[in-house]
Amino acid sequence: MKKNKSFSYAKYGYLFSIPFVVVYAIFSLYPTINTALLGFTNAKGMTGLTDWEFLPWDSIFKNFQQVVKNPIFGKSLKNTIVLWVVNFIPQISLALILTAWFTSRRNELKGQGLMKVIFYMPNIITAASIALLFNKLFAYPVGPVNSLLQSLGILDAPTDFLTSSSSTRGIISFIQFWMWYGHTMIILISGVLGINPELYEAAELDGASGSQMFWKITIPNLKTILLYTMITSMIGGLNMYDIPQLFNKGNPANSTLTTNMYIYNQAFSGSYMYARAAAASMIMFIIIAIASIFVFLAFNDEKGKARREAKRIARMQQKEAE
């Protein structure tokens, strides 16, 4: 009877999944395959989108080879990684410090709700607008940042930040950092609140200090979420487009050109190299997939480790309590 019933309802499982499956197949799966295929064609120029053919077999990987050999693509990949790393390290560090402060059981800070709202706010504002706003804030010779730094005595003369590659990179990384540390902090705090409070209570009874609890309980139990944060941030970072594009259009000398900007420029400006842009997209896809799998494997292992560690601590504390 029961089996019969679940059998008769099973068709609704399929039925209710149909909209998702159909739309995903048409608007995500097919374009993915289409991009992969375009990488093996000669699609370029004004008519390149409708009129193209596959490359001959002996040069089927020509577009991929051209992209890999292209020094500008190499540079854009390097830029993208640099921009991400330089923002991620301070971002996760500050987020961890604030998490430790905001979840401290002995030293409760006031106004946490308001601080969370303010720290998170830049994350939700249109990235394109933020990038252009910062471009104007760093205006030369007179701009808000220049005049502020001069009145504080940090600068003697106005500095043109946007003509130096290191300062332009620094500012873009800073914008990323500034937009994301609040988000990361909120995720980490929710992770800490999910840790079994008995672990902390036991540690407190044993007279553990705040920093001991942070390193021995919080961090090991937070590893899963830390690595999840890292994966999502990395994928987002490798797809960076809006901020470098609107902050300084990849200038100076392509030093802030990211891979997504390279792909966009190949396909939608100059000679409309659609095939080459598709090949570059696929190369990025493979890089992102490999990097994610790599981190994910580490993540699964860390998860096991964190759990073992937590169990070990709990057992130790139980023993001590006895």
Partner 1 sequence: MAKKSVITIRRTPGQKVFRVFQYVLCFLLACLSLFPFFIMLVNATRSTIQIQNHPVSFAFSNFLMNNFRVLNRTAMFDAVTGFKNSFLIAAGATILTVYFSTLTAYALVAYDWKLKGPFFGFILAVMMIPATVTSIGFYQFMYRIKWTNNLLPLIIPAIAVPGTVFFMRQFMVASLPMEIVQSARVDGASELRTFNQIVLPIMKPAMATQAIFAFVGSWNNLFMPSILLTNKDKYTMPIMVSLLNGDIYKTEYGAIYLGLLLTVLPIFVVYFALSKYIIAGVALGGVKE
Give the single-character DSSP code of 25: I
Residue 39 vs 169, nearer CB to partner 1: 39
Q: Using the rule CB under 8 A, is 155 a contact of partner 1?
A: no
> Minimum distance between the CB of residue 38 and partner 1, rounded to whole angstroms?
6
Give the single-character DSSP code of 41: B
Cβ neighbours, 10 Å, residue 32: 12
Q: Which of 67, 76, 81, 187 binds partner 1 (CB under 8 A)?
A: 187
Contact mark string toward partner 1, 189..228, x via CB under 8 A: xxx--x-----------------------------xx--x
Question: In angstroms, rounded to a whole number, what is the distance separating the alpha carbons of residues 290 and 301?
Answer: 17
Question: In angstroms, rounded to a whole number, what is the distance separating the alpha carbons of residues 187 and 250?
Answer: 31
Residue 181 vs 316, nearer CB to partner 1: 181
> Does 158 sit behind a cis peptide bond, omega within 30 degrees of 0 on the bond before it?
no
Q: Using the rule CB under 8 A, is 20 a contact of partner 1?
A: yes
Cβ neighbours, 10 Å, residue 186: 19
Task: Tell which residue, 130, 258, 180, has the closest CA to residue 138.
Answer: 130
264-303 residues in contact with partner 1 (CB under 8 A) are 264, 267-268, 274, 277-278, 281-282, 284-285, 288, 292
End-to-end CA distance of the chain: 52
Q: Which of 128, 155, 208, 298 binds partner 1 (CB under 8 A)?
A: 128
Q: Using the rule CB under 8 A, is 245 a contact of partner 1?
A: yes
Question: In angstroms, rounded to a whole number, what is the distance separating the alpha carbons of residues 232 and 92?
Answer: 13
Cβ neighbours, 10 Å, residue 55: 16
158-177 residues in contact with partner 1 (CB under 8 A) are none
> Does 252 sit behind a cis peptide bond, omega within 30 degrees of 0 on the bond before it?
yes
Q: Using the rule CB under 8 A, is 112 a contact of partner 1?
A: yes
Q: Using the rule CB under 8 A, is 231 a contact of partner 1?
A: yes
Q: Using the rule CB under 8 A, is 307 a contact of partner 1?
A: no
Q: Using the rule CB under 8 A, is 57 a contact of partner 1?
A: no
Q: Which of 106, 154, 156, 269 binds partner 1 (CB under 8 A)?
A: 106
> Minimum distance between the CB of residue 319 and partner 1, rounded to whole angstroms?
27
256: CB partners within 8 A, 6+ apart: 79, 83, 165, 168, 169, 172, 244, 247, 248, 250
Mark the segment that binds partner 1 (CB under 8 A) among 53-61, 76-84, 85-93, 113-121: 113-121
Mark the segment that binds partner 1 (CB under 8 A) among 24-32, 54-62, 69-77, 198-206: 24-32
Cβ neighbours, 10 Å, residue 263: 23
